[in-house]
Amino acid sequence: MAEGAEDDDPQARPAGQGRLWTRLGLRGRVALLFGLGALVLSVTMGGLSYFSARHFLLADQENGARTEAYAHAQTLDADLAPGTASPGTIAGYVDGVAQGVQSDSVLIYQGSTYDSSFQLGLGDIPASLRVLLRTGTPGTQNFTLDNAPQVAVGVPIPAEHAVYYEVFDVSDLARTLHILALALAAGGLITTVLGFALGRAASARSLRPLAGVSQAAVLVAGGQLDTRLPDASDDPDLKGLTTSFNQMVDRVRDRIEAEARFSSDVSHELRSPLTTLGASMEVLEAHADELSPRARQALVLLSQDLRRFQRMVADLLEISRTDTGSVELALEEVDAGELVRRSVAASSRLVAGEAMASQPGTLDGPAVGPEVRIDPSLAGIRLLVDKRRFERIMANLLENATFYGGGATAVSADRGPNRPDGRPTVQIAVDDHGPGVAPAERSRIFARFYRGQASGRRGAGTGTGLGLALVAEHVRLHDGRVWVEEAPEGGARFVIELPVAAHRPVAESGDVP
Amino acid sequence: MSVRILVVEDDERIRSSMRLALEGEGYDVDETESGEEALDHFAAQAADIALIDLMLPGMDGFECCRALRRQSAVPVIIVTARTDTHDVVAGLEAGADDYVTKPFVAKELGARIRALLRRARPAEDEPKTLTFGDLELLPDQGVLRRKDGEEIHCTRTEFRLLCELAANPNKVLSREQLLDRVWGYDYFGDGRLVDVHIRRLRTKVEPDPALPRHILTVRGMGYKLVP
């Protein structure tokens, strides 16, 4: 378990990183990039405008406040100059000096504090400003009072040993800035959404030809090699894509046709000498008793390897046919039980013949096939198969059992579980009593020329190395599955699962039963 | 009486080995290396059976088969390197009775030859005359004719197939049964043999081969003859 987790993780992690990004799809990614671009742009522009406006407005406000405060301080200076004013008069001066201006004034004169409103006293002026003023330096400071932003200006009046503070309420400016910020943020949001939408629309538009390409690629992958993209030579952006796509399909088709031609040529070229060899060999075998024992032995070796060679060529050609997709199944609807019984009987004869031919001296032994069990539930069940290819499947499995599994012990056919689409299936199992197949080898065993534990053995008692690969290909062509598991009595069990014939095949000529 | 086999094969080595193997089985063998030569040879010395390779230089096997068929009902076995392509069906449509695939086993070829020759001589327990529509079959004479006496030419295999169907009127015969009875094949015989021969027969005995009235297809089961 822990081992499995270790095996899985290193693969899962790097894949997981790019997964979200990849899963967005090209359109999503372009749209997202457009949106992000618009967001960055609007945040930058909005931020710049907000901060420069704020800076300018604040400076302007502060200057105005300072100018006003200095003017009022000057007025008070003049008012206080005679030095004769009573506290009441001074309070009047303070009240009147900033008349008509939205501000509150505080005057410290001869140890007394005069303020123009009840809302604001000396205690509300920021301490740091008061410390500054104590040194006789004028100053300005922003602060908040009851959540309202204020600008306090402190002006010393050295002639009268007085200090004048004026506090301006700048809530209006703050509100303005607030609205500006909101407007800019809203603008940014709209820009971002528009950018996203623009990206999506633009990518959708520019990707439209790609959808055509992908559709064409699907058709090509499905074997329709005459698929071509429409000519786009007047579109400089698409020209390259369509031209190279069409060229690629041309080349793929040429390659496949060349390969198919090659296998057909090979078929003719190899079969001719094999025909001569086979026919001559039969003549020799018919006259084997005229040969010396040594020559007879050589003849046996020759004929064994000739048969093996013939099988190998036949298997190779069949495999190359599946590769080029040129297999034409002669599908017929047949009774499942009868098919299995007949195939096993025919295959056993063939396999027994080959196995015994590999052990000279036992040529005339009886051909004993494995026990065949057809489940009664298969009565009336029909399969749509190419009979002769099915027989090859059984022959290859039985041969495999003979060469690697000490001989097949039983062949059984039974109902399998229904497919996800509800189609019933039939399972055919071939058991042997050999060492079985290790779990790690169970999928590899169907690879071409895979020999596993038998590697190194190349005697007459081994197959062509293509038998199980052909089984896999043929089962796949029949829309079935094949796998290997452990037989109940040990040994290996090869299982073929084929779908039950859904409906009768409709032949093109209409006169095939 | 020995059986004479005409072999048409351009590859000299295959031809020689075939002759050796077939002579070993007790047949007389005439070798020819082209379709043209085969037709000339056949005109001078008729054979009991012809083995024609499909890939021949000049006149190909199909054409040779058609030409031979035009002048004779001699059983023809085509020899092909490819079973999967349309070669087999095309060869059968050109008039061949059966086919073997290279590399063939000489014993199997011998069995095919014997089967073709055997069915050219029908069994004795069959009735003297079988009739359907306006047609008459005389199994012991190998004659198919209209009631007005006009004879219809057909190959021995076509004739034998028609006899099987006509001897079991209104009864469905499966492809396996027909393969067994007419060609001597087991369960794994090629059903295309039956299908193509049925097609060929229909063009000869049906008033409208596209809408057969006598030789009917029973989907999923086989064929039956309705008199």
The 10s digit of each residue's pLDDT in A286-295 is: 899 999 999 9
Q: What is the pLDDT of residue A506?
A: 42
Task: Give the distance from residue A435's alpha carbon to the nearest chain B alpha carbon, in angstroms.
Answer: 33
Q: Between B224 and B2, where is the model more confident?
A: B224
List, in sequence order, the alpha helices (H) in B45-190: 61-71, 87-93, 106-119, 156-167, 175-178
Q: What CATH architecture is B4-119?
A: 3-Layer(aba) Sandwich (3.40)
Task: Give the distance from residue B115's alpha carbon to the nearest chain A alpha carbon, in angstroms.
Answer: 20
CB-CB: which of A272, A286, A513 is closest to B102? A272
Answer yes or no: do A279 and B198 touch at CB < 8 A.
no
Of A79, A99, A209, A103, the C-alpha closest to A165 is: A103
CB-based contacts of B183-189 (< 8 A; 24+ apart in sequence): B183/B98, B183/B115, B183/B116, B183/B119, B183/B157, B184/B111, B184/B115, B184/B118, B184/B119, B186/A342, B186/A346, B187/A338, B187/A342, B187/A346, B187/A387, B188/A342, B188/A346, B188/A387, B188/A388, B188/A391
Determine phi and psi for A282, rounding to 5 degrees.
-65, -35
Q: What chain A residue is nearest to B56 in terms of C-alpha separation? A: A268
Q: What chain A residue is nearest to B24 in terms of C-alpha separation? A: A283
Give the CA radius of gyration of chain B: 17
| CB of A372 closer than 8 Å to CB of A341 | yes
Q: What is the pLDDT of residue A24?
A: 78
Q: What chain B residue is nearest to A333 in terms of C-alpha separation? A: B220
Confidence of residue A78 (pLDDT cuts 50, 70, 90): confident
Q: Between A240 and A508, where is the model more confident?
A: A240
pLDDT at A464 over 50: yes
- Residues in chain B closer than 8 A to A391 (CB atoms): 188
Q: Domain limits of chain B?
A: 4-119, 130-225
Residue A352, SS3? helix
Determine phi and psi for A150, rounding to 5 degrees.
-135, 155
- For the record, the structure tokens of B16 come out as 């020689």
CB-CB: which of B103, B191, B202 is closest to A332? B191
Residues of A numbered 259-288 whose beta carbons fall under 8 angstroms of chain B's beta carbons: which are they? 264, 267-268, 271-280, 282-283, 286
Task: Give the distance from residue A441's alpha carbon to the nearest chain B alpha carbon, in angstroms.
Answer: 33
ipTM passes above 0.90: no
B185 shares contact with chain A (CB less than 8 Å): no
List, for residues A187-214, the tens digit of each pLDDT value: 989 999 998 899 888 888 877 777 888 8
A353 shares contact with chain B (CB less than 8 Å): no
* Residue entry with tokens 């590697």: A455
CB-CB: which of B18, B195, B218 is closest to A279? B18
Q: What is the pLDDT of residue A508?
A: 39
Task: Give the distance from residue A269's alpha carbon to the nearest chain B alpha carbon, in angstroms.
Answer: 9
Give the separation between CA A5 and CA A19, rounded to whole angstroms: 20
Tell me: cis bond preceding B103? Omega within 30 of 0 counts: yes
A504 shares contact with chain B (CB less than 8 Å): yes
Of A109, A98, A108, A39, the C-alpha closest to A72 is: A98
Q: What is the pLDDT of residue B30?
A: 94
CB-CB: which of B103, B192, B198 is closest to A271? B103
pLDDT at A510 over 50: no
Q: Would B4-119 and B130-225 be classified into the same CATH topology?
A: no
Task: Give the distance from residue A25's alpha carbon to the nearest chain B alpha carbon, in angstroms.
Answer: 44
List, for residues A303-339, the tens digit of each pLDDT value: 888 888 888 888 877 877 777 677 778 888 888 999 9
Give all domains of chain A, ordered by start, each with its CATH number: 83-172 (3.30.450), 231-327 (1.10.287.130), 330-513 (3.30.565.10)
- How many cross-chain Cβ pairs, A to B, lie less than 8 Å apart? 105
CB-CB: which of B21, B55, B175 is closest to A513? B175
> A493: how many CB neighbours lie within 10 A of its CB?
23
* Least confident stretch, A79-93, A166-180, B213-227: A79-93
List, in sequence order, the alpha helices (H) in A222-235: none
- Give mean pLDDT, residues A103-127: 81
- Residues in chain B closer than 8 A to A388 (CB atoms): 188, 190
Give the separation between CA A3 and CA B115, rounded to whole angstroms: 64
Q: What is the pLDDT of residue A513?
A: 55
Assign domain B130-225 to a CATH class: mainly alpha
Give the separation between CA B2 and CA B218, rounded to whole angstroms: 41
Task: Give the distance from residue B124's alpha carbon to the nearest chain A alpha carbon, in angstroms.
Answer: 30
B191 shares contact with chain A (CB less than 8 Å): yes
Q: What is the pLDDT of residue A124?
A: 82
Of A54, A72, A50, A84, the C-alpha closest to A188 is: A50
- For the record, the structure tokens of B138 come out as 């005389």
- For the record, the structure tokens of B70 come out as 């035009």
Strand pairing report for A492-499 and A425-432: antiparallel
Answer yes or no: do B103 and A321 touch at CB < 8 A.
no
| CB of A364 closer than 8 Å to CB of A461 | no
